[in-house]
Amino acid sequence: MKQNSQIELENQFQAVISPYDELTILVSAHDFELAKPFNLTSIQGNLGNQTNYQRFGYLVDPNGNIQFPILGELHVAGMTRLDLQDYITDRLKKGDYLTDPYVMVRFNNFKVFYLDNYGSKATVLNITDERCTLFEALAMLGDLNAYTKHDMIGILREVNGKMTMHYMDPRKSDVFNDPYFMLQQNDIIITKPIKSRYARDEFSYWTSWFSILSSLTSIATLYMIITNKGTVVY
């Protein structure tokens, strides 16, 4: 990348709602009593003269739908957070439920996963914002170990119900234009080990086996010597 070069990122990028996402949806209005029925709450008890409410998230079902109070079933898969906010706001106004609704939508379970070189260790990254780049995720993970191929970072992503693996080189300037540079919920970052690591581990593997076989051979020889010690040869 050239010094002082400027890269324009897709500021319009927003995560898309998918099946099994968990959403927080809050509806408010100037008269909050009118907005209460549109909020998913559970009464937990009374604190003095005030009622204590606990809010629950909406789990998107396998068909991409949620069950929303009063409005019923809403198909939300494929929408962005802002799309859903506008959609619910429009439904509340057109249905004459609220004249001045304010709707807020948030992802509850925006997570990105990381598998190390051999898939033996998994790390879960909880993303507080719906925007997370590959660089931000790598920074959260810390430095990759010396045996990782830094020029081949894989992203495993579900696209239209199918798992898709995509590799990119984060050292190149065009990585910012890669559609997988902006991570989506439940993306899995996968790294590959360099060949020298494979060679070293394979050498250690066979060396260990040769040591074991050598020890077994020595034990067998010693056993034969001991068992034949009292034998008289004519």
Considering the domain boundaries, does residue 216 fall inside one?
no
Q: Which residues pair with 191 in a beta bridge?
A: 153
Q: Which residues pair with 216 in a beta bridge?
A: none
Chosen domain end from 87, 107, 127: 107
pLDDT for 232:
42
Q: Which alpha helices (H) appear in 70-133, and where do they start and end?
A: 81-94
Per-residue pLDDT of the chain (234 residues), as tens digits, is: 444 445 555 545 678 898 999 999 999 999 989 999 999 864 444 445 554 444 578 999 999 999 999 999 999 999 999 999 999 999 999 999 999 999 999 998 889 999 876 566 788 998 887 788 999 998 888 867 777 788 889 999 988 778 999 999 988 888 888 989 999 889 999 888 876 555 455 545 545 555 665 666 666 665 566 666 544 444
Considering the domain boundaries, does residue 183 fall inside one?
yes
Considering the domain boundaries, does residue 217 fall inside one?
no
Q: Say yes or no: 186 and 145 in one domain.
A: yes
Q: Please state, in angstroms and rounded to a whole number, the distance separating the CA atoms of residues 79 and 67.
A: 16
Tokens of 32: 């909050």
Give the SS3 label for residue 179: coil
Q: Please state, in angstroms and rounded to a whole number, the distance separating the CA atoms of residues 152 and 169.
A: 5
Considering the domain boundaries, does residue 89 fall inside one?
yes
188: containing domain: 111-195
Q: Say yes or no: 133 and 101 in one domain.
A: no
Number of domains within the chain: 2
Q: Are 39 and 8 in contact (CB under 8 A)?
A: no
Q: Say yes or no: 86 and 140 in one domain.
A: no
Q: Please state, in angstroms and rounded to a whole number, the distance separating the CA atoms of residues 183 and 124.
A: 14
Considering the domain boundaries, does residue 204 fall inside one?
no
Tokens of 121: 């260790």
Tokens of 172: 């190149």
Q: Say yes or no: 142 and 93 in one domain.
A: no
Q: Say yes or no: 86 and 122 in one domain.
A: no
pLDDT for 223:
59
Considering the domain boundaries, does residue 222 fall inside one?
no
CATH of the domain at 133: 3.10.560.10
**Torsion-angle region of 205 (φ positive above 0: left; ψ -120 to 50: alpha; else: beta):** alpha
